[in-house]
Amino acid sequence: MTHLLVKAIIVIAGGSLQGMGMGLFLFPHFIPSGGAGGIAVLLTYWFHLNTGLALWLVNASMLLLAVKYLGKRVAVWTVIGITMTSVSILFFEQTFIITDRNLLLDFFCGSLLLGTGIGLLMRQGVSNGGVGVIALIVSHKRSISPGQPLFWINCCVFIFTAAVIDWKIILLALGSQWISTRMVNLICQLDFYQSYTISWRRK
């Protein structure tokens, strides 16, 4: 029971930090946090949806495609994580109105918080949703690492988002991905609490 409570707290914290990075720092500049973030930014740009709601809809729809690959338990935790992320985005977007923004400062702060949040989720064996579930399906079907399809899917989304909104977005998006990935690796390597992780078999 204690382990379950600790996991719930960490998943909520991870989703909240991820949402803070997106809603408070990245999304105001239309910087996509990933493939799902890029699609959410496009939905917001086109239909004026709340970004948190748009991201939840994208994540939820993609998660449904991959439930049988992730398993029901992981899927439930993932729904909790992406819901907390969306709620956090909504909270920070509506609560903190920053008029004098600094692009570079927001870029670095948002990327660091994004990576920290994703790292906490991954240490618990929880997917942060997004196009990662599609990459996972492709990797299962073609027996390849999920990193390869994830990279190309994200790149396609970034390029399309940049073409629609602004070409500088692709540079910012790739830079944000690099920083957040470094943070994910750092968080996953630290040994400061008992983590619950998915065991991967080497073929």
Q: Where are the domains of the chain?
A: 2-189
Q: Give the span between the Cα atoms of 78 and 25, in whole angstroms.
A: 23
Tell me what the mean pLDDT of segment 136-146 comes to.
Answer: 69
Complete DSSP assignment for 40-106: HHHHHHHH---HHHHHHHHHHHHHHHTHHHH-HHHHHHHHHHHHHHHHHHHHHHHH---SS--HHHH
Among candidates 177, 129, 122, 132, which has minimal Cα distance to 10?
122
- Within a 13 Å sphere around the CA of 191, how many CA atoms are in the beta-carbon half? 0
Q: How confident is the model at residue 19 (pLDDT cuts 50, 70, 90)?
A: very high
* pLDDT mean across residues, the chain: 81
Tell me what the mean pLDDT of segment 45-72 comes to.
Answer: 78
**Axis-axis angle for helices 72-95, 2-20 (nearest 10):** 40
Indicate the range of 32-46, 64-78, 106-120 predicted with least confidence: 64-78
Quote the percentage of the chain above a pLDDT of 90: 20
More confident residue, 73 or 68: 73
Tell me what the mean pLDDT of segment 133-141 comes to.
Answer: 70
Tell me what the mean pLDDT of segment 176-199 comes to.
Answer: 70
Q: How confident is the model at residue 24 (pLDDT cuts 50, 70, 90)?
A: very high
Q: How confident is the model at residue 147 (pLDDT cuts 50, 70, 90)?
A: low
- Cβ-Cβ contacts under 8 Å for 31 (sequence gap 6 or more): 41, 107, 110, 169, 172, 173, 176
Q: Give the span between the Cα atoms of 51 and 57, in whole angstroms.
A: 10
